[in-house]
Chain A
Amino acid sequence: MSLMLTCPVCGRRNGYEFRYGGEDKGPRPEEDGLTPRAWCDYVHMNRCAAGPVKEWWFHRDGCGSWFTTWRDTTTNLEIQPPEDSE
Chain B
Amino acid sequence: MFFRTRRLWKKPDRLRSRYDAVIIGGGLHGLATAYYLAREHGMRDVAVIEKNYIGFGGAGRNTAIVRANQRTSENLPLYKEALDLWPVLTRELNFNLMFNNCGNLNLVHSEAAMKASRLNVATAQFHGVESHLLDAAQVKEMEPALNIAEDIAFPIHGAMYHPPGGVVRHDAVVWGLAKGASAHGVHIHQQTEATGISVENGAVAGVETRAGNIRTGRVLISAGGYSADIIHRMLGLTLPISVLTIQAMVTQPLKPLLNHVVSSGAYHVYANQTLKGEIATGAHMDPWPNYTTRNSAHYIKHQAEALGEMLPCLRGVRFMRHWAGLADMTPDMAPIMDGNDPVRGAYINCGWGYFGFKSCAVVGKHMAAFMAGGECPEILRPFHLRRYEQHRLMGETAAVVNYSPDN
Cα A74 to Cα B391 with chains together (Å)? 32
Which residues of the other chain, A, contact B228 by a CB distance below 8 angstroms? Answer: 46, 48
Q: In the docked arrangement, what's the CA distance between A22 and B240, Å?
A: 11
A73 to B242, CA, bound (A): 11
Given the known interface contacts A36-B390, A40-B388, the answer about A76 and B292 at a Cβ–Cβ threshold of 8 Å is: yes
Question: Quick one: which of A23-44 are within 8 Å of B by CB?
Answer: 36-37, 39-41, 44
Do A47 and B238 touch across chains, with their CB atoms under 8 A apart? yes
Contacts of B406 in A (CB 8 A): 20, 22
Measured CB to CB, the residues of B under 8 A from A are 226, 228-229, 232, 238-243, 245, 286-292, 294-298, 324, 328, 331, 388-391, 405-406
Known contacts being A37-B389, A50-B226, is A2 close to B241, with CB within 8 Å? no
Q: Is the CB–CB distance between B289 and A1 below 8 Å?
A: no
Contact B389 A1 (CB under 8 A): no
Q: B292 to A75, Cβ gap below 8 A?
A: yes
Cβ–Cβ contact B289 & A73, under 8 A? yes
Contact call A1/B226, Cβ cutoff below 8 A: no
Chain A residues with CB under 8 Å of B298's CB are 2, 16
User: Chain A, 47-86, contact with B by CB distance < 8 Å: what is the 0/1 string?
Assistant: 1111001000000000000000000011110000000000
Q: Which of B242, B245, B390 contacts A1 (CB 8 A)?
A: B245
Interface of B is mostly: loop
Question: Which A residues contact B (CB, under 8 angstroms)?
Answer: 1-3, 15-16, 19-20, 22, 36-37, 39-41, 44-50, 53, 73-76
Q: B239 contacts A48, CB within 8 Å?
A: yes
Residue with the greatest number of chain B CB neighbours at <10 A, chosen from A39, A40, A48, A74: A48
Minimum Cβ distance to chain B for residue A75 (Å): 7
- CA–CA, A48 and B232, complex, Å: 8
Q: How far is the CA of A50 from the CA of B406 in the complex (A)?
A: 19
Inter-chain contact A46/B238, CB cutoff 8 Å: yes
Chain B residues near A16 (CB-CB < 8 A): 287, 298
Complex CA–CA separation, A79 to B189 (angstroms): 35
Per the bound structure, the CA–CA distance linking A82 and B241 in Å amounts to 24
In the complex, 7 of the A-B residue pairs with CB atoms within 8 angstroms, ordered by the A residue number, are A1-B292, A1-B324, A40-B388, A41-B238, A44-B240, A45-B240, A50-B229
Is A48 a contact partner of B229 (Cβ separation < 8 A)? yes
Cβ B242 vs Cβ A46 within 8 A? yes
Q: What is the CA–CA distance of A20 and B407 in the complex, to the nearest angstrom?
A: 9
Asked, given contacts A15-B288, A20-B405, whether A2 binds B296 with beta carbons under 8 Å apart, the answer is: yes
Are B239 and A36 closer than 8 Å at their CB atoms? no
Q: Which residues of B contact A46 (CB under 8 A)?
A: 228, 238-242, 289
A33 to chain B, nearest CB (A): 15
Most central of A16, A41, A46, A73 by chain B CB within 10 Å: A46
What is the CB-to-nearest-CB distance from A46 to chain B, in angstroms, rounded to a whole number? 6
Which residues does chain A contribute within 8 Å of B391, judged by CB atoms? 36
B245 partner residues in chain A, CB cutoff 8 A: 1
Report which of B287, B292, B324, B389 forms a contact with A40, defined as CB distance below 8 A.
Answer: B389
Residue of B with least CB distance to A18 = B288
State the CA gap A53–B243 with chains docked (Å): 13
A2 to chain B, nearest CB (A): 5
Which B residues are CB-close (under 8 A) to A45?
238-240, 388
Q: How far is the CA of A55 from the CA of B287 in the complex (A)?
A: 14
Contact A1–B295 (Cβ < 8 Å)? yes
A69 to B289, CA, bound (A): 14
| A37 to chain B: closest residue by CB | B389
Q: How many angstroms between the C-alpha atoms of A85 and B253 in the bound complex?
A: 51
Residues in chain A near residue B389, CB distance under 8 A: 36-37, 39-40
**Distance to closest chain A CB from B392 (angstroms):** 11
Contacts of B286 in A (CB 8 A): 1
Q: Which residue of B lies closest to A2 (CB)?
A: B296
A60 to B297, CA, bound (A): 21
A48 in contact with B292 given A20-B405, A36-B391 (CB within 8 Å): no
* Chain A residues, CB < 8 A from B296: 1-2
B289 contacts A48, C-beta separation under 8 Å: yes
**Additional 5 contacts, C-beta under 8 A, given A1-B324, A2-B297, A20-B288:** A1-B295, A46-B242, A47-B232, A48-B229, A48-B243
- Report the nearest A residue to B227, measured CB to CB: A48
* Chain A residues whose CB sits within 8 angstroms of the CB of B226 once the complex forms: 50
Interface contact A3-B243, CB-CB below 8 Å? no
CB distance from B48 to the nearest CB of A (A): 21
With contacts A16-B298, A44-B240, A48-B242 taken as known, whether A73 is within 8 angstroms of B290 at the C-beta atoms is yes
Write out the residue numbers on chain A whose beta carbons fall within 8 Å of the beta carbon of B292. 1, 73-76
